[in-house]
Amino acid sequence: STAEELLAVDSIHTYYGQSHILFDLSLSIDRGEIVALVGRNGAGKTTTLRSVLGLTPPAEGTIAKDGEPIDGLEPYEIRKRGISWVPEERRVFGGLTVEENLRLAASTGEGDQSDGFEDVYERFPRLDERRSQKAGTMSGGEQQMLAIARALLGPETDVLLLDEPSEGLAPQIVDDVADIVRELNEEEGVTILLVEQNAEMALELADHAYVLENGRIVHDSPAAELLADREAMEGYLGVK
Ligand code: ATP
């Protein structure tokens, strides 16, 4: 295969204080892929993202982007290498307008990012129409769109880490979010690491899947293969 490895997480161990959360965890993401990381509550999915982002650096193991080590770098340096994320629960500022949310995010980066700004509006016309609407009055799907747009501001994003984008959304809106993720991947070439409780949504979108259980990878296969394996779906994920 000619696949090019974009992100390589190799045998990491991550702790919160004395609590050992991730055990010898490895995963590999090729450029252009959508990779799903699924597993039950508390399995360590968010901690895996925090490890990659440098927010909770692993105590052991290595992480490389495009073959270059990134573990040990500060989060802002990791962001400059093209790794961005959308945190759980979106965390948009409900009292601020769409425009203010984006300006605030841009202002925490370096230099003038007003260019990136118009790109974002072009990519998400719904946000353009709602520049002056308070984010808190938008639908959950629109807020998720804003959170994704915000993550794309600043340095070019090669790989986007999405933490439970479907959380708390009605099924119809989950489909809209899935469409956004698919378009970002197919049209903009953004590589995606998708963490989801909603395993079916994630596996329908993804090329490859990893299942996390108690901080360990217990299964890894093409996403379609896992989705079709009813025993594994029920055993690992409780999906009947
Ligand atoms: P969820 O879907 O519920 O968010 P998750 O798979 O993302 O679950 P994590 O949030 O990574 O799981 O949590 C993994 C484990 O680490 C859990 O046992 C959790 O209680 C613990 N944990 C998370 N954050 C901290 C923290 N700041 N300090 C101590 N323990 C933590």
What is the 3-state composition of the chain as percent helix, strand, coil, each rounded to the nearest 5?
A: 40, 30, 30
In this structure, the residue with its CA closest to atom 25 of ligand 1 is 16
Under DSSP, is residue 208 helix (H, G, I), strand (E, B) or coil? strand
As averages over each run of 10 residues, the pLDDT of the chain (240 residues) reads 85 97 98 96 96 97 97 94 89 91 75 66 90 92 92 91 92 91 94 95 96 96 95 88
Give the pLDDT confidence score for residue 114 in this predicted structure: 58
Residue from 13, 37, 45 whose mutation best tests the ligand 1 pocket (most atoms within 8 A of CB)? 45
CB within 8 Å of 114: residues ≥ 6 apart: 106
In this structure, the residue with its CA closest to atom 11 of ligand 1 is 44
Residue from 47, 50, 53, 55 whose mutation best tests the ligand 1 pocket (most atoms within 8 A of CB)? 47
Q: Which of 61, 56, 118 is nearest to 85 (CA)?
A: 56
Give the pLDDT confidence score for residue 123 in this predicted structure: 87
Is the whole-model pTM more than 0.80?
yes
Q: What angle do CA 34, 177, 222 make, to 5 degrees?
A: 25
Give the pLDDT confidence score for residue 59 in this predicted structure: 97
Sign of the dihedral defined by the CA atoms of residues 75, 79, 82, 84, in that order: positive
Give the pLDDT confidence score for residue 76 in this predicted structure: 92
Give the pLDDT confidence score for residue 66 in this predicted structure: 96
Give the pLDDT confidence score for residue 130 in this predicted structure: 93
How close is the Cα of 164 to the center of ligand 1, in Å?
14
Query: CB–CB of 194/186 below 8 Å?
Result: no
Half-sphere exposure of 88 (CA within 13 A, CB side): 12
Q: Is beta strand 5-16 parallel, antiparallel or unpaired with respect to 19-30?
A: antiparallel
In this structure, the residue with its CA closest to atom 31 of ligand 1 is 16
Query: CB–CB of 222/187 below 8 Å?
Result: no
Separation of CA 222 from chain center: 18
Query: CB–CB of 93/104 below 8 Å?
Result: yes
